[in-house]
Amino acid sequence: MRHLVLDASVVVRWFRTPAEPPGRALRSEFESGRIAVTIPGLLFLELLNVAGRQWRWREEKLLEFAEELDRTRFELLDPDLGRVAGWVARGLTAYDASYVALAEQLGIPLITVDRAILDAAPGLARLPGAA
């Protein structure tokens, strides 16, 4: 089984209708037990933000979404703040740095389609399909 950190730029694609590549393939791998996913808790906040502000979901649908997120089998682990600070010093937002720091801390790849992360952390961050 592969172990990965996924960021919001990838996981958000799991919840579009229909699911968008590259999210669809990773979701399939996750649901079939071929990958284990570790995330910082802020991922769920980012997803709720997208659903409410960009997709304009109403409260009832947002509450259902929050329950769905609570039921995911992702491992939640927040990164060491010192590692986050190091990546912020390299130009990432604290939010993006959280994903990179977590991948670094665990010694596993971060899967993202976020260009800023890919550019800042080429040794840790990969595009879906390159993991």
- pTM above 0.95? no
What is the per-residue pLDDT for 130? 73
User: In this prediction, what percent of the chain has a pLDDT beyond 90?
Assistant: 85
CA nearest to 97, candidates 42, 34, 44: 42
Angle 42-49/94-106 helices, nearest 10 degrees? Answer: 140
Over 70: is that where the pLDDT of 19 sits? no
Over 90: is that where the pLDDT of 14 sits? no
94 CB neighbour count, 10 Å cutoff? 13
- Report domain extents, the chain: 2-126
DSSP class of residue 53 equals I
CATH number of 2-126, picked from 3.40.50.1000, 3.40.50.1010, 1.10.3720.10, 3.40.50.720:
3.40.50.1010
